[in-house]
């Protein structure tokens, strides 16, 4: 009997010691990605390398500059259009990222409602998230299908949530994922209420932002039209050699430089004045 008691005490002391000495699995370190990589991720193009994207920008700028040079025989004008064409892929990807973020913001409340229904039906939190791959909103199904596969293979809920955040690259998704992580770690019976409150908050936030964006759309479109108009006129003037050759002189180069600077400053000022607060990603 004494040996059994001693063995039990020894095992208990060993467990207490291991709880304080054995290091816990560290959280995934926060990655600091460049702005280009973050832009590609927000646009859903995380599989595209930064090098490939920069190469595309350079190639589009070089091609546009060559075409304008052949048409106008005026190097300053060709350089101006080459710079604009090189920046065009960035604008297209940024627009895709904004549309993707707006689309996600509209469907997240539905996804959270589906998750709350799954939890009320008796499914665990990982099972409810995996079920969104088939019953969730269409824009989010691919990301949750990958989450379901990750969890089926590894069984590590925290790491699967981290990879889900990387795939989504969405500020609203970050808030949802971190809320689910806390609910999973803390436990308790308030998960259903937390999901319902989160769904209501996301729905109100998406409605308010949609109204503000619809009201400011005319301002943004007007700013873009005002900036693009003089360059469209210059592009048509490139077909008239006797007129466009004037921009090859020092005075013409100065006019182009001042016009480009004025357009850039005016456009940035207009966009900054009419810009809505942009949500930042958390713990990404």
What's the half-sphere exposure (Cβ side, CA atoms, 13 Å) at 173? 23
Separation between Cα atoms, residue 65 and residue 63, nearest integer Å: 5
Separation between Cα atoms, residue 100 and residue 94, nearest integer Å: 10
Angle at 57 between CA 52 and CA 62, to 5 degrees: 120
Q: What b/e string do you get for 140-164 counting C-beta neighbours within 10 Å, with b at 16 or more?
A: beebbebbbebbeeeeebeebbbbb
Residue 93: Cβ within 10 Å count: 21
**Cβ distance 190 to 65 under 8 Å?**
no
- pLDDT by 10s per residue, the chain, length 284: 555 445 555 555 555 555 554 444 444 444 556 888 888 988 888 888 999 999 999 999 999 999 999 988 889 999 999 999 999 999 999 989 988 988 888 898 888 888 888 888 888 888 888 999 888 889 999 999 999 999 988 888 889 989 998 888 888 888 888 888 887 777 656 677 778 888 888 888 888 888 877 777 777 788 888 888 889 888 888 888 778 888 888 888 899 999 999 988 888 887 777 776 666 676 65
DSSP per-residue letters across 211-224: HHHHHHHHHHHHHH
Please give the model's pTM, rounded to 2 decimal places: 0.77
């Amino acid at each position: 009997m004494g040996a059994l008691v001693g063995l039990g005490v020894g095992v208990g002391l060993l467990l207490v010691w291991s709880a304080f000495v054995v290091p816990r699995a560290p959280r995934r370190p926060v990655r600091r990605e460049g702005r280009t990589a973050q832009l590609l991720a927000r646009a859903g193009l995380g599989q595209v390398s930064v090098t490939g994207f920069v190469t595309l920008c350079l190639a589009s700028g070089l091609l546009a500059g060559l075409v304008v040079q052949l048409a106008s025989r005026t190097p300053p004008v060709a350089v101006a259009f080459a710079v604009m064409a090189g920046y065009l892929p960035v604008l297209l990807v940024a627009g895709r990222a904004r549309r993707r973020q707006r689309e996600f913001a509209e469907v997240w409340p539905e996804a959270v409602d589906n998750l709350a229904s799954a939890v009320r039906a008796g499914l665990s939190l990982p099972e409810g998230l995996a079920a969104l791959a088939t019953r969730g909103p269409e824009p989010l199904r691919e990301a949750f299908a990958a989450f379901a596969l990750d969890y089926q293979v590894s069984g590590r809920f925290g790491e699967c949530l981290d990879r889900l955040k990387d795939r989504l690259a969405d500020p609203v998704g970050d808030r949802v994922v971190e809320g689910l992580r806390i609910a999973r770690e803390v436990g308790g019976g308030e998960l259903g209420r937390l999901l319902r409150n989160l769904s209501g908050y996301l729905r109100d936030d998406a409605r308010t932002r949609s109204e503000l964006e619809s009201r400011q759309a005319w301002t943004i479109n007007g700013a873009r039209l005002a900036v693009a108009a003089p360059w469209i006129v210059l592009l048509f003037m490139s077909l008239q050699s006797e007129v466009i050759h004037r921009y090859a002189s020092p005075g013409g180069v100065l006019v182009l430089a001042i016009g480009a600077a004025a357009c850039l400053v005016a456009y940035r000022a207009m966009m900054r004045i009419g810009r809505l607060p942009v949500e930042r990603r958390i713990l990404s």
